[in-house]
Amino acid sequence: MHEYELQVDPHRAGQGPETELRSLLLWLKEDESLRRDVRGRIRSGEPAPAHAPAPAPAAYGTPMGSPGFDLLQLAVGSGLSAGSLLFAVLQWQASRRRPPAITVRRGPYEITLTGDEAADPEGLRRIVAALENGSGDEDGADDGTA
């Protein structure tokens, strides 16, 4: 299993980060080529302060005082390539009226997808290499960003 974290840029999230992440998770679950190999959950990207009381449950939405749900954690089966996952994320972005930027993290590597990457095959190759092999260059001299 490979672990990925996906986060939506809150400034470019048309319907808000939580709604956008729920939409993306549903998109991934409905993709026939991914659904067996991807498990995900949405959670807050910020830890709750240890001294703060738990927020009261809200009738709908995020409880007041809560940091909000802004992180999609994915557990991806080892048989699924990073390229397949990135392709699905880029397809989801292309389907959005106002596509949000998505930051994808795997281990020490962090890549922000704006949707423009779909038009750059060489850039996509470097992104996939960074996420799959831990390196964006053939010689392994990548600094962790793509």
For residue 109 the two structure tokens come to 């590597």
User: For every residue of the chain, which 3-state class applies, written as one string?
Assistant: CEEEEEEECCCCCCCCHHHHHHHHHHHHHHCCCCCCCEEEEEECCCCCCCCCCCCCCCCCCCCCCCCCCCEEEEEECCCCCHHHHHHHHHHHHHHCCCCCCEEEEECCEEEEECCHHHHCHHHHHHHHHHHHHCCCCCCCCCCCEC
Question: Average pLDDT over the chain, rounded to whole?
Answer: 77
- Residue 90 forms part of a structural domain: yes
Structural domain span for residue 112: 2-44+67-119
* Residue whose structure tokens are 């001299």: 141
| Residue 74 neighbours by CB under 8 Å, 6+ apart | 3, 4, 5, 6, 28, 38, 39, 40, 85
Higher pLDDT, 92 or 59: 92
Residue 60 lies in a domain: no
The CATH number linked to 19 is: 3.30.70
Highest mean pLDDT among 55-69, 97-111, 130-144: 97-111
Asked if residue 86 is part of any domain, the answer here is yes
Torsion over CA: 39, 40, 41, 46 (sign): positive
**pLDDT (0 to 100) of residue 11:** 72
Query: Residue 135's pLDDT is what?
Result: 44
Instruction: Pick 14 or 89 by higher pLDDT.
Output: 89
Residue 144, pLDDT > 50, answer no
CA–CA dist 20, 99 (Å, integer):
9
Q: What's the pLDDT score for residue 139?
A: 42
Q: What is the pLDDT of residues 66-104, one digit of tens each?
A: 456 689 999 988 888 888 999 999 999 999 888 889 999
* Number of domains into which the chain is organized: 1
